[in-house]
């Protein structure tokens, strides 16, 4: 319905509604609509007031439909008021009529608040751990009436309204109630169902109407390019993952085989038309693939809602909403449940370091620097043109910590890989002298971010003992993966960026030059056990002109494949958990692009299929052999056998675990075939060759040791085995006893 032309205010008794209030409502500047609209007691009378654009006549009724009074029209734009026959304050409804017909509206202003004093207390304290159930839009029944409760934090706003396709995006209709102690605005809207688009219309402190804002706690969003939030019900998923969650909650993840497949959900595969796969389609394809390949976890690049595809999700505008690109939130829950039923964990790439400045997002949310710092030296990130969260504000910390808890609780996620931790820890990150503000002690450490990370990890591990939190931290900040009570940041694991950088640099060199850079491959063992490390070959290494992993390798095509196979064997035998970005398991030639599917047709070629088989077998060997994973994070699980043969570019070490047969890992990083190469071993006897990256099935030359070598004890007490070293290859030998 459209309102008739505004013909001015009709003179009415002052006890119905003052002219100033009428003008304020119509001009969208009434700061406290609950004080005037709805049902009010005036002495022994009860007055009902409403704003119903398009109505010519209005009758007040009980919720059961009993007429309790006709209201007078105070303004032709749709303002009505009148005395009604009730004995107490209660929810009521209105029957509105005009020339086109009649309709019924339940009065949202006749309902009391939903949030309570305990919510206010914990929100003010910054310790509310159920904000995701309180803020945002949630279906509920209030006084027996179904609808949605909306709540949003905007402490400096003069007015906040819910607008959507249910009220013609008119900010005058559903202005919200302010809870002054917390700065949270709330309203219950009867009759609203799931599937409606909505935003918040906010009037700033100076009276300016801001661009419409998406809900920071929205659990569902529109599909881009639209960017409104969507009303949605609770996750409707029958979880069948008790055994999976119990396993991880009762084991030490540091001693489990963890091999992570990093995936960009929009480009792993696409359907025949080139569109994104839905979560259900991804489940049908990706889960069986990861089971066959032997990965223990899938790690998704950010999937919380984001506006711009080429950002890969790292500039999110909806931390609580799985992106609409792949379907509804329930679809993502089904995907996670499907993974858990076959023993695969799901890790979310999480971005609490910064957020984009899109008009509908968090930037200047209520007209002030609310989620970010006011000072650009603290609140603006020069690398990404984004805003930095104000980690010193309790409400911002609660927003982020609740988000970490939300994904674990509502979607049963197994882990969070926290992006850009280094940018959070250092106040001078990517800044020149004079472009940053020192901390209270004059240093460059962001003490507020440290406290945030410690609190987040403590809260998450307390609520979900089986979760993994993994820091992408590229500096030497101490104790990233140490417990908070021991002075650490509290992460479960840290990405080993040094391993990735040094080893890829080494493999890019021609083999003849590698002897001069031997330390690139040995230096990492000096710090390998200072943190609980994940060895990442991530998306960051195959974008922005860096080329794919196979393209980085030195030599002709044969050598490139052999180098990469040897490198994977080296990495899977090296201490630390494993991560491999999609497409690298079959040696995709092209640099990754988010705009298209991986080049799956390459699997028709033996060298690419051989690489895939190798990664599958490496995962299988890593999972089956406790010596390769049970002491990934402890020095007593590693022992050098050959560390200094730089002339031959050979490396050998022992992986071991209590009660397990040791495994020797030997790598030859030159194309020279060597026979009778002496490798020291701890025990004499037969050592089985359990993996050889040069095997013909992987596309290699087929050189090897016929399945086993013999370790013999010499007169001087040394034990060695004379083995054949295939060119550019890694061998794994297990004591056969």
Mean pLDDT within 384-388: 95
Q: Which range (85-89, 342-346, 655-659) has the least confidence? A: 85-89
542-583 confidence digits (pLDDT tens): 998 999 999 999 999 999 999 999 999 999 999 999 999 999
Kindly report, residue by residue over 656-670, the tens digit of the pLDDT: 999 999 999 999 999
Q: How far apart are CA 309 and CA 316, in angstroms?
A: 11
Confidence grade of residue 27 (pLDDT, cut at 50, 70, 90) = confident
**What gap in Å lies between CA 398 and CA 380, rounded to an integer?**
21
Question: Has residue 735 got a pLDDT over 80?
Answer: yes
- With contact defined as beta carbons under 8 Å apart, do 598 and 588 qualify? yes
- Which long-range CB contacts under 8 A does 330-334 form with residues at least 24 apart? 330/235, 330/236, 330/237, 331/278, 331/279, 331/280, 332/279, 332/303, 332/411, 333/235, 333/236, 333/237, 333/410, 333/411, 333/412, 334/237, 334/279, 334/280, 334/283
600 vs 159: CA distance, rounded Å: 54
Q: Mind giving me the DSSP string for 534-547?
A: EEEE-GGGGSTT--
For the question of residue 419 being annotated catalytic, the response is yes
Determine contact, residues 414/349, Cβ cutoff 8 Å. no
Q: How far is CA 364 from CA 30, 171, 379, 393, 400, in A?
A: 22, 19, 11, 15, 17
pLDDT in tens, 11-24: 444 568 889 899 88
List the structure tokens of 378: 């603290």
The one catalytic residue in 21, 119, 419, 448 is 419
**With the C-alpha atoms ordered 331, 335, 337, 341, is the resulting torsion angle positive or negative?**
positive
pLDDT per residue over 474-513, tens digit each?
A: 999 999 999 999 999 999 999 999 999 999 999 999 999 9
For the chain, what is the radius of gyration of the CA atoms? 31
pLDDT for residue 183 is more than 50: yes
Quote the CA–CA distance of 608 and 476 in Å, as a whole number: 37
Residue 4 has pLDDT above 80, yes or no: no
Q: How far apart are CA 464 and CA 112, in angstroms?
A: 35
Task: Identify the pLDDT of residue 15.
Answer: 64
Chain-wide mean pLDDT for the chain? 95
Two structure tokens written together for 304:
């919380």
Least confident range of 23-27, 347-351, 726-730: 23-27
Q: What is the DSSP string of 31-79?
A: S-GGGTSEEEEETTEEEEEEE-TT-SEEEEEETTS-EEEEEEEEETTTE
In the prediction, which pLDDT does 600 show?
Answer: 98
By the 10 Å C-beta count (0-12 exposed, 13-18 middle, 19+ buried), 208 is classed as exposed
| pLDDT bracket for residue 31 (50, 70, 90) | confident
Q: Are 61 and 92 in contact (CB under 8 A)?
A: yes
Residue 707 backbone zone (phi > 0: left; psi -120 to 50: alpha; other: beta): left
CA-closest candidate to residue 734, choices 647, 635, 622, 636: 622
Is residue 472 flagged as an active site residue?
A: yes
Among the listed residues 470, 474, 477, the one whose alpha carbon sits nearest the alpha carbon of residue 494 = 470
Looking at residue 13, its pLDDT comes to 46
Tell me whether strands 493-495 and 533-537 are parallel, antiparallel or unpaired: parallel
pLDDT in the model for residue 276: 97
* The pLDDT of residue 59: 97
Please check the confidence at residue 413 and state whether its pLDDT lies above 90.
yes
- The mean pLDDT of 679-703, rounded to a whole number, is 97
Q: Where are the beta strands (DSSP E) in 331-421?
A: 345-350, 354-355, 380-381, 386-388, 415-418
Return the structure tokens found at 107: 């009065």
Torsion sign over Cα 323, 324, 329, 333:
negative
Q: What is the pLDDT of residues 217-255, one digit of tens each?
A: 999 999 999 999 999 999 999 999 999 999 999 999 999
Residue of 472, 473, 541, 617 marked active site? 472
Helix, strand or coil for residue 445? strand
DSSP string, 692-703: ETT-GGGTS---
Token code pair at residue 658: 């209590």
Question: Mean pLDDT over residues 327-345, rounded?
Answer: 98
């Amino acid at each position: 319905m459209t309102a008739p032309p505004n013909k001015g205010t009709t003179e009415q008794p002052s006890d119905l509604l003052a002219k100033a209030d009428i003008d304020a409502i119509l001009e969208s500047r009434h700061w406290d609509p609950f004080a005037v609209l709805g049902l009010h007691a005036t002495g022994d009378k009860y007055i009902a007031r409403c704003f119903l654009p398009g109505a010519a006549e209005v009758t007040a009724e009980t919720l059961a439909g009993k007429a309790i009074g006709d209201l007078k029209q105070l303004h032709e734009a749709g303002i009505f008021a009148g005395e009604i026959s009730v004995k107490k304050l209660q929810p009521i409804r209105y029957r509105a009529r005009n020339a086109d017909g009649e309709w019924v509206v339940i009065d949202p202003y006749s309902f009391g608040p939903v949030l309570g004093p305990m919510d206010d207390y914990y929100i003010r304290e910054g310790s509310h751990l159920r904000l995701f159930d309180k803020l945002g839009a949630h279906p509920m029944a209030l006084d027996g009436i179904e609808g949605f409760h909306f709540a949003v934090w905007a402490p400096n706003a003069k007015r906040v309204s819910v607008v959507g396709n249910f009220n013609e995006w008119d900010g005058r209709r559903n202005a919200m109630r302010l809870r002054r102690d917390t700065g949270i605005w709330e309203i219950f809207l009867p009759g609203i169902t799931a599937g409606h688009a909505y935003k918040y219309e906010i009037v700033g402190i100076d009276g300016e109407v801001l661009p419409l804002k998406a809900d920071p706690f929205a659990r569902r969003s529109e599909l881009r390019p639209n960017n409104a939030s969507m009303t949605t019900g609770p996750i409707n998923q029958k979880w069948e993952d008790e055994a999976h969650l119990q396993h991880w909650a009762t084991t030490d993840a540091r001693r489990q085989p963890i091999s992570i497949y990093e995936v960009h959900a929009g480009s792993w595969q696409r359907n025949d038309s080139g569109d994104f796969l839905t979560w259900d389609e991804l489940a049908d394809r990706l889960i069986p693939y990861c089971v066959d390949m032997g990965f223990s976890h899938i790690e998704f690049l950010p999937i919380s809602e984001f506006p711009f595809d080429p950002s890969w999700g790292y500039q999110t505008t909806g931390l609580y909403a799985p992106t609409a690109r792949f379907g509804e939130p329930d679809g993502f829950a089904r995907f996670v449940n499907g993974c858990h039923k076959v023993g695969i964990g799901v890790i979310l790439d999480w971005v609490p370091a910064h957020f984009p400045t899109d008009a509908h997002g968090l930037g200047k949310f209520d007209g002030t620097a609310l989620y970010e710092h006011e000072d650009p030296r603290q609140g603006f990130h020069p690398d990404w043109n984004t805003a930095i969260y104000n980690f010193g504000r309790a409400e911002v910390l609660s927003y982020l910590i609740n988000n970490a808890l939300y994904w674990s609780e509502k979607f049963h996620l197994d882990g969070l890989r926290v992006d850009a931790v280094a940018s959070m820890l250092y106040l001078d990150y990517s800044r020149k002298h004079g472009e940053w503000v020192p901390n209270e002690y004059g240093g460059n450490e962001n003490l507020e971010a440290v406290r945030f990370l410690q609190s987040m990890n403590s809260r998450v591990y307390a609520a979900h003992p089986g979760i993994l939190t993994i820091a992408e931290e590229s500096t030497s900040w101490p104790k990233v993966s140490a417990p908070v009570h021991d002075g650490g940041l509290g992460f479960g694991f840290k990405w080993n960026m040094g391993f990735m950088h040094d080893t890829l640099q080494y493999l890019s060199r021609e083999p003849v030059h590698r002897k001069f850079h031997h330390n690139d491959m040995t230096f990492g063992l000096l710090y390998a056990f200072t943190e609980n490390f994940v060895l990442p070959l991530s998306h960051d290494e195959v974008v922005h002109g860096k080329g794919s992993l196979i393209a980085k390798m030195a030599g002709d095509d044969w050598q490139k494949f052999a180098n990469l196979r040897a490198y994977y064997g080296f990495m899977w035998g090296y201490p630390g958990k494993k991560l491999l970005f999609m497409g690298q398991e079959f040696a995709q030639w092209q640099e990754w692009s988010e705009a298209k599917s991986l080049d799956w047709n390459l699997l028709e070629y033996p060298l690419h299929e051989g690489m895939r088989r190798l990664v599958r077998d490496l995962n299988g060997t890593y999972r089956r052999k406790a010596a390769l994973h049970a002491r990934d994070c402890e020095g007593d699980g590693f022992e050098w056998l050959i560390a200094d043969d730089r002339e031959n570019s050979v490396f050998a070490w022992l992986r071991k675990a209590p009660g397990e047969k040791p495994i020797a890992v030997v790598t030859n990083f030159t194309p020279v075939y060597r026979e009778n190469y002496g490798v020291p071993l701890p025990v004499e006897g037969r050592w089985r060759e359990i993996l050889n990256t040069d095997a013909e099935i992987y596309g290699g030359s087929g050189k090897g040791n016929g399945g086993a070598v013999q370790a013999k004890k010499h007169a001087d007490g040394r034990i060695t085995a004379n083995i054949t070293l295939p060119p550019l290859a890694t061998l794994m030998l297990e004591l056969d006893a």
